Structure 1
């Protein structure tokens, strides 16, 4: 299979790469071969920044953006300077949770997405392929809304390391296929242009996992602010945790799963106006990666 990285040079020449060709080696995220569905490229699309490979060519890991005030990096009106911050939402559903969904458990959260739209907050949704299969209409709606971007959270939501919060484990030889299967699920759901960003299930990774995914050309995206919304019932406590942890360039991890994170919408409605009053501008992960100029 032709990898993302090996096709970079040809796509730069054509002027149709997802990244800003000719700017920095860090910004390479062209379209993969059809067997590994990922963001399609288009000369009319805004270039998608990624990070340069890590030491030894390992998958790079992004945790937060610059710790300075940003300038015009992507909120809706694009006119105000400010401290940049990205809210990210994990749309989790593991490969074996189909029976639970069939019995009525909700792994989606339409009210949360509606709140983000109402508040005009750009956001990045890290979606599992299994979630996209269960909720294709919602996946497509989010993916086609320019306020949002969809990134890869694996197909199965099984861990890529041992001993990761009790999650089942993906075999090392199956990691790349699991990631690529998620892109296939996005494509089948009608999600256009998913991002070349990957969030490890549980945030758990090691050198072996980074090596296994290096050929895909994705940038691994972690976070520096843990909201604590997973399984929380005290919205005020989660709100305080986000507000206390927020810094310029922060990536906040939250969840878009109603059954596992029931207070997230309430938290967002409290956090957004307060952070805006403190001078923060909400942006997508791609904006923070771009502002980092290819530096992890």
Structure 2
């Protein structure tokens, strides 16, 4: 079983335009198996709540399948308020290094700065290739308690066929691809990446859930598609987010400047309006904790 190391213990719908071309290679530094004496604890594969020192995860699905989380409790109880999680996919594929070298920007420092200025907690689903290209930014985000970094694969290859034109990772390479992203985070100096995984393109099936079950991750989807990928009309994206949000919502957006150029503008418009409506922003871990073991 792959152990997700913690030192204390799509729609990502980019469509056919995001035809990721990375390669899923076996990680160079595999995590120790849980049975190894020196291995840290992995996310629980049998209980709905982790050990006290670990982040919240969901109980496995039927037949032990990787659990899938889409939204938190639909409640506006006074103790929690109306919670909403803004999530940002930091996409970059293994073939995009030459494009980055030529000046294309797959990061978005202005977006991160705006989230900090507005004091909005957020979860960034990062590919390993993004962390390799922008290690200083990955480390800064990962060490900021306002944010948490989760896994969006290493290569951004799809884990199923027919996923918006994305190339695919073979079944035999899926776990290695996921684990390679954690290795990239560790090399970048990211502190305590979360045991959460977002499927490239948002595509998955029961066979994929079975293949990843031994990793202990909780898969995180969404219930609000921002539509920011390749959008040029910030007002339209803002309306789509505001029309879709309900208590417990998980909103999917992007932290890639070249592929989602209006996202920072959308955040500046969405945040004050949702606060006016009584929403409180939360990281995915808080929503999963509030779900008490249920997706």
Q: TM-score by structure 1 length?
A: 0.85
> 2:61 matched to 1:61?
no
| Counterpart position of 1:289 | 288
Q: Offset at 1:208?
A: 1.2
Distance 1:3 1:145 in 2: 24
| Counterpart position of 1:112 | 111
| Counterpart position of 1:40 | none
Aligned pairs for 1:58-137 (under 5 A) are: 58-70=65-77, 81-137=80-136
CA separation of 1:88 and 1:70: change in aligned 2, threshold 3 A: farther
| Counterpart position of 1:268 | 267
SS at match of 2:180: helix
Q: Is the 8 A contact 2:2 2:214 kept in 1?
A: no
**Aligned residue pair count:** 265
| Counterpart position of 1:38 | none
Aligned pairs for 1:1-296 (under 5 A) are: 1=1, 3=3, 7=34, 25-28=47-50, 47-70=54-77, 81-296=80-295
Distance 1:190 1:197 in 2: 18
The answer for unaligned runs of 5 or more in structure 1 is 31-42, 73-80
Cα deviations by residue, 1:117-148 (Å, 9 ceiling, x for unpaired): 00000000000000000000000000000000
Distance 1:291 1:113 in 2: 25
Q: TM-score by structure 2 length?
A: 0.85
Between 1 and 2, higher relative CO (CA 8 Å, sep ≥ 6) is seen in 2
Following TM superposition, where does structure 1 have runs of at least 4 consecutive aligned residues deviating by more than 6 angstroms?
A: none
The answer for unaligned runs of 5 or more in structure 2 is 5-32
RMSD (Å), alpha carbons: 2.2
CA separation of 1:2 and 1:186: change in aligned 2, threshold 3 A: closer
Cα deviations by residue, 1:170-220 (Å, 9 ceiling, x for unpaired): 001100000000000000000010000000001000111111100000000
